[in-house]
């Protein structure tokens, strides 16, 4: 994705060139993630979509229900209604996880919910908070560094 346009692109890993695949029909995707079956999931406006990586065509799957919009600890009430899933990824068990971004007021307090999202029903279950203000596209930040067993470090 390129900010402000609705096309899906492939990146040539040797040259860095963007190769346009096709129009997704949406120019405001927040994040993308592949599941274990190779399906490309996308989110915008607290909705889940699947994008065909060969054509770019997107298909609405479900609305994400359960993203908090009130009583969020450490966040000013004027930001509560603006919570939107902005960062998501699948774990090794193929469970979708996401974080939400708070509103962009001048509120000095920060906090973003972490949610487990059921891709079949769209139900999001809050499991904790990041204590980060602006979780956006790929920014799920762990509070502790852990060794990466896959890389051996």
The pLDDT score that the predictor gives to residue 147 is: 45
Q: Per-residue pLDDT for 142 more than 90?
A: no
Q: How crowded is residue 24: how many other Cβ atoms within 10 Å of its Cβ?
A: 23
Q: Phi, psi at residue 132, to the nearest 5°? A: -115, 145
| Residue 1 banded pLDDT, cuts 50, 70, 90 | low
pLDDT top residue among 137 and 21 = 21
Q: Per-residue pLDDT for 144 more than 90?
A: no
The pLDDT score that the predictor gives to residue 69 is: 84
Q: Which of 122, 141, 123, 120 is nearest to 131 (CA)?
A: 141
Q: Which of 65, 70, 33, 39 is nearest to 54 (CA)?
A: 39
**Tens of pLDDT, residues 23-63:** 999 988 888 999 999 999 999 999 999 999 999 999 999 99
Q: Per-residue pLDDT for 98 more than 80?
A: yes
- Rounded alpha-carbon distances, angstroms, from residue 45 to 28, 50, 63, 85: 8, 14, 9, 8
The pLDDT score that the predictor gives to residue 145 is: 39
The pLDDT score that the predictor gives to residue 133 is: 60
């Amino acid at each position: 994705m390129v900010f402000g346009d609705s096309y899906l692109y492939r990146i040539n890993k040797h040259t860095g060139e963007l190769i346009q695949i096709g129009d997704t029909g949406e120019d405001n995707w927040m994040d993308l993630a592949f599941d274990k079956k190779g399906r490309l999931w996308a989110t915008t406006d607290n909705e889940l979509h699947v994008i065909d990586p060969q054509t770019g065509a997107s298909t609405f799957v479900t609305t994400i229900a359960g993203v908090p919009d009130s009583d969020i600890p450490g966040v000013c009430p004027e930001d509560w209604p603006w919570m939107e899933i902005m960062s998501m990824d699948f774990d090794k068990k193929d469970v979708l996880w996401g974080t939400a971004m708070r509103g962009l007021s001048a509120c000095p307090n920060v906090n973003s919910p972490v949610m487990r999202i059921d891709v079949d029903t769209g139900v999001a279950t809050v499991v904790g908070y990041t204590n980060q203000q602006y979780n956006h596209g790929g920014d799920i930040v762990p509070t502790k560094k852990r060794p990466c067993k896959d890389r051996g470090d």
